[in-house]
Structure 1
Amino acid sequence: MSISWNVILPVILIELILMAIALVDLAKTEKTNGPKLMWVTIIVLGNLLGTIAYFIFGRRNS
């Protein structure tokens, strides 16, 4: 039983694009809820859930 690359590849690409967007946003943001190194770790190791967590909890409203 194998999963087609036609299904997996778009999911991986979307995940990598969102991760890149989150890391760029984190680099440009002056203040976050918590240390930036912590958020880099969560974004990279948490994959899609880490990226979502950053956008929900990590960004500080101005």
Structure 2
Amino acid sequence: MPLEILPFLVPLILIELGLVIFALVDLFKAERRVKGGNKLIWALVILFVSTIGPLVYLIAGREEV
């Protein structure tokens, strides 16, 4: 990997990591309800579907209490 792209890659990685952490913390709040009712499935989506997984959860997976 050329070192020239490193300044562009590091912020993207940090944003991705922050998004995953935020989504997981939100998911495992005791009062949080999710569509489908299965938090484990949503955790797997958040972790293994790259950037899109956390966004899908935050936009479509949460139910308002």
Residue 4 of structure 1: how far off its partner (Å): 1.3
C-alpha displacement at 1:57, in angstroms? 1.0
Taking structure 2 as the reference length, the TM-score comes to: 0.86
Root mean square deviation of aligned Cα: 1.5
Following TM superposition, by how much is the alpha carbon of 1:40 offset from its aligned partner in structure 2, in angstroms? 0.4
In 1, are the aligned partners of 2:32 and 2:63 still within 8 Å (CA)? Answer: no
1:59 alignment counterpart: 62
Task: Give the unaligned 5+ runs of structure 1.
Answer: none
User: Which residues of structure 2 form unaligned runs of 5+?
Assistant: none
What is the alpha-carbon distance in structure 2 between the residues aligned to residue 16 and residue 24 of structure 1? Answer: 12
Identical-residue share of aligned pairs (%)? 39
Q: Give the TM-score, by structure 1 length.
A: 0.89
Whole-Å Cα distance in 2 between the matches of residues 37 and 23 of structure 1? Answer: 10
Match of 1:30, as an amino acid? R
Offset of residue 24 of structure 1: 0.2
CA distance in 2 between counterparts of 1:47 and 1:23 reads: 13
Residue type at the aligned position of 2:26: D
- C-alpha distance in 2 between matches for 1:41 and 1:59: 15
Aligned counterpart, 2:35: 33
